[in-house]
Amino acid sequence: MSTIYELVRGDGPLLISAPHVGTYLPDDLAARLTPPGRALVDTDWYADRLYPFAADLGATVLRAGWSRYAIDLNRDPAGASLYPGARTTGLVATETFEGEPLYAPGDEPSDDEIRVRRALCFDPYHDALADELERIRAAHGYALLIDAHSIWGRLPLLFDGELPEINLGTNSGRSCDPDLIAAAVGAVAASPFSHVLDGRFKGGYITRRYGAPEKSIHVLQIEINQRAYLADGSRTAWDDAKAERLSHALRAVCEALLFLVAKR
């Protein structure tokens, strides 16, 4: 998909954002990338497909079209680190999560090129996200945002050992109402999947920028260990049976949130 983003609008209070599922690279950028870059190894493969129930719940879905290797929609454009002291990638990555270079030495994007990419991809996505949150809040009095991500389960440069299967991030409780956080944790705890709240992944730029419970905008990042839904032995192949089990748990999370806010 060469479009910057795809928006499928629903009429309910839930918005699902998938900023790292895009796979499009313009030819001139793809030609400059190393083989790991052209393989898009850090893509959140099919993270949006884990929410096939979105339309049933009246959710709006916003998904990126361009690869995160063009520009990362979930990084602070000012350059502030999401996790000071820990290894992470920036607004425009120059290496993979496993430390492999994305460009030949000296061919990394310039500041001017980064500004062009931001204007082309980053700003339009965030304009759409902000507009949809405001539209939803105006219609319902509140908005729920699920920031949908996935990542390979073993990345020694980023974290030790195996990542839990479902990682909930709330910016240490600042992006979401405590009762909603408890409801999400309860729904995941009732599933067969390992999980953690505000562990290695507390929420990226989207969670931190838009989460404002005091303004009735509640944001929950859900980071999935890709081994929970990809085929055994593969880092890209979808597994129907595994994904269906995981989607059942994610639907339970979304339904728990919607049930709780509807009672208020």
Residue 23 pLDDT:
97
> What is the average pLDDT across 38-56?
98
Of 171, 156, 169, 149, which Cα lies nearest the Cα of 86?
A: 156
**137-164: pLDDT as tens digits:** 999 999 999 999 999 999 999 999 999 9
Share the mean pLDDT of the chain.
96
- 184-233 tens-digit pLDDT: 999 999 999 999 999 999 999 999 999 999 999 999 999 999 999 999 99
Query: Positive or negative CA dihedral for 159, 16, 48, 127?
Result: negative
What range defines the domain where residue 58 resides?
A: 5-262
Instruction: Say how far residue 143 (Cα) sits from the centre of its chain.
Output: 17
Are residues 144 and 17 in contact, defined by beta-carbon separation less than 8 angstroms? no
CA separation for the pair 60, 145 (Å, rounded): 9
Q: Is the pLDDT of residue 82 over 90?
A: no
> Residue 220 gets which letter from DSSP?
E
pLDDT in tens, 221-243: 999 999 999 999 999 999 999 99
- Tell me how far apart the alpha carbons of residues 225 and 151 are, in angstroms, rounded to a whole number: 5
Residue 122 phi, psi dihedral angles, 5° rounding: -65, -55
pTM over 0.85: yes
Average pLDDT over residues 53-79: 96
The alpha carbon dihedral of 43, 44, 48, 49 has a sign of positive
- Higher-confidence position of 80 and 130: 130
Report the greatest alpha carbon distance in the chain. Answer: 57
Q: Would the pLDDT of 181 be above 80? A: yes
Structure confidence at residue 54 as a pLDDT band (50, 70, 90): very high
Q: What's the pLDDT at 87?
A: 77
Distances (CA, A) of 124 to 3, 13, 127, 208: 11, 22, 5, 18
**Domains held by the chain: number:** 1
Tell me what pLDDT residue 2 has.
Answer: 64
Is the pLDDT at 1 greater than 60? The verdict is: no
Q: Which residue has the higher pLDDT, 87 or 255?
A: 255
- Residue 230, classed as helix, strand or coil, is strand
What CATH number should be reported for the domain holding residue 46? Answer: 3.40.630.40
The CA distance from 194 to 92, in Å, is 31
Is the per-residue pLDDT at 26 higher than 60? yes
pLDDT in tens, 121-136: 999 999 999 999 999 9
Residue 5, pLDDT score: 97
